Structures are given as C-alpha cells and as structure tokens.
C-alpha cells in the first residue's frame, strides 16, 4: 500500500477534481455516514487550538513553529475527512474493494466470493479493522458491521504492523446494506 501522505494528498486531489475513487464500471458502497459529523466537529475545533497558542505562548518563534504545525495538522485532518467521502468500498468487475479511511485497502476478486448477505455484528473495538474471531476480518464503524462476505477459500490479508491474517469471512459496514448486497450480487452474477 502507498504511504499515508500520498493517500491523503490523493484524497484532497479527488476533492478538487470532484471525483470518487471507484472504477468506471464500479459501484460505490459508502460506509462513513454515521461518523462524518464527529470528524467535522473535530476539524472545526482546530481553529480554537490556533487561537489558544496565540494567546498562551509568548515567544514569537515558538508561536510561529506551533502555528505551522497546527496548519499542517489541520490540512492532514482535512485530508482524512476527505477519505471518508472519496475512498468508499466499491464493487466492479475487478472485485470487491474494502476500505477504512486511508488506513486499510484490500481487494477481493469476485471469483473468491462465495456469498454476501446482510448480517449485523457488534464489535468490541470502536471501529476500524479487527479480527473478532479466527478466520473473520471485521471492518466496522461505531463498533458494528452489517454485511458479511463469505469466501470460497482462505485469503491472506495484510494488516500492516499487525502482520497478516488468513480469513474466510469478511464483515463490513455499509451505509445502505441492502443496496450493497444487491450491487455485489449483480457483479457476481455478471461475472459468471
């Protein structure tokens, strides 16, 4: 996977070009509707930090250095917010692409998918990528998933610093699970 700065910069470029990272023949499966407001609130709080630094810190060189860091941090966080909109899960002839912001991106070929169904699962972790049980990878939002993809055979998934894991099932969150199941099934039937 590319480095984080490149992924974040690409998300901002997609915003400027008014594009979403989905193949031309693909269908976007958005997953971030419930967490977007929290990210926007966190981004809106950033100017308060800048004002506090200006008021509290007396040394001009330190203030300038902190201001530069605050602006860089705000830009990086804005790029992270952009990933919520510009890097959805997607399904196309190439397969199912499952993402979590800029931190996780995994492709599953259509031929590897056995079935897909709506299935709610509560997770112990807040969100993100986890392994709730052997052979299952969960890409959840707000401690939940609502879609389950069963694979025909085990597939290795790279989890970065956490190494890798063999999975036979992938559980994920979709804002509209019914439409997501239909889109995936449509691609599966078209690939037969």
What pLDDT score was predicted for residue 2? Answer: 57
Residues 61, 62, 64, CA angle at the centre, nearest 5°?
65
Q: Cα–Cα distances in Å, from 85 out to 50, 112, 155?
A: 26, 27, 28
Domain boundaries, the chain: 4-86, 109-191
- Token reading at 15: 């915003």
Q: What is the DSSP string of 14-81?
A: HHHHT--S--TT-EEE---TTTHHHHHHHHHHHHHHHHHHHHH---HHHHHHHHHHHHHHHHHHHHHH
What is the pLDDT, as a whole number, of residue 22?
95
pLDDT for residue 108: 96
The pLDDT assigned to 161 comes to 74
**pTM for this model (two decimals):** 0.85
In what helix (H) or strand (E) does residue 86 lie, and over which residues does it extend? helix 60-86
Reported as a single tens digit per residue, the pLDDT across 123-147 is 987 768 988 888 999 999 989 999 9
What confidence score (pLDDT) does residue 190 get? 87
Low-confidence ranges of the chain (pLDDT < 50): 1
CB neighbourhood size of 59 (10 A)? 9
């Amino acid at each position: 996977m590319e480095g984080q700065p490149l992924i974040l910069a690409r998300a901002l470029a997609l915003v400027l070009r008014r594009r979403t990272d989905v193949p031309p023949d693909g269908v976007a499966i958005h997953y971030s509707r419930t967490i977007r407001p929290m990210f926007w609130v966190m981004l809106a709080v950033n100017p308060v930090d800048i004002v506090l630094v200006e008021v509290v810190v007396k040394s001009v060189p330190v203030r300038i250095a902190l201001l530069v860091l605050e602006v860089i941090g705000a830009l990086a966080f804005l790029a992270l917010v952009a990933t919520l909109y510009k890097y959805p899960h997607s399904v196309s002839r190439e397969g199912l692409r499952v993402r979590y912001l800029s931190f996780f991106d995994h492709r599953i070929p259509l031929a590897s998918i056995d079935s897909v169904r709506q299935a709610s699962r509560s997770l112990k972790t807040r969100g993100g990528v986890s392994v709730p049980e052997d052979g299952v990878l969960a890409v959840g939002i707000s401690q939940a998933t609502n879609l389950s993809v069963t694979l025909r055979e085990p597939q290795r998934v790279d989890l970065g610093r956490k190494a890798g894991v063999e999975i036979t099932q992938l559980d994920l969150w979709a804002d509209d699970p019914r439409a997501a199941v239909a889109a995936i099934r449509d691609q599966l039937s078209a690939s037969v």
